[in-house]
Amino acid sequence: MIKPSRLFVAIEPIDLRKGVDSLMALARQTAQENFVEQAAWVFRNKSGSRIKVIYWDGLGFWLCIRRLDQGRFHWPEHTAAIFELTYEQFLWLVDGIDWRRFSKGQRVMASGF
């Protein structure tokens, strides 16, 4: 189980053929001075049906891929290039739940990542 200190979502879709090095470079470029080494970075494809999560835990990189069989991931609508999620929002996101509809007081069962 990985549990990064912070979770960032890149708003713009990318080509998910990118690997670890390209994704980390993109995270650094997107975040600029806000880059955090032990944070997870979430990227999506254009259709919104696939995501990649990259995380450096101090020893090496984790690269996780998730594809939904039906539907799309619910992505934040934001004017900034990155958006920070809470861990709970991240769990809803990777489960395909529209996390934007829930307030802090509501609980939804989400899978462990």
Q: Is residue 108 part of a domain?
A: no
Condensed to tens digits (0 to 9), the pLDDT of residues 46-61 reads 999 999 999 888 788 8
Residue 77 lies in a domain: yes
pLDDT at 110 over 60: no
Q: Is residue 94 part of a domain?
A: yes
Q: Is 42 contained in some domain?
A: yes
pLDDT digits (tens, 9 = 90+) for 72-83: 998 887 778 888
Own/partner contacts of 4-7, CB < 8 Å, gap of 24 or more, are: 4/38, 4/39, 4/40, 4/55, 4/57, 5/36, 5/38, 5/39, 6/36, 6/38, 6/39, 6/40, 6/84, 7/39, 7/40, 7/42, 7/84, 7/85, 7/86, 7/87, 7/89, 7/90
Full domain range(s) for residue 61: 6-101
Give yes or no for residue 100 having a pLDDT over 80: no
Residue that wins the pLDDT comparison between 34 and 108? 34
Give a yes or no: residue 1 inside a domain: no
The verdict on residue 78 lying in a domain is yes
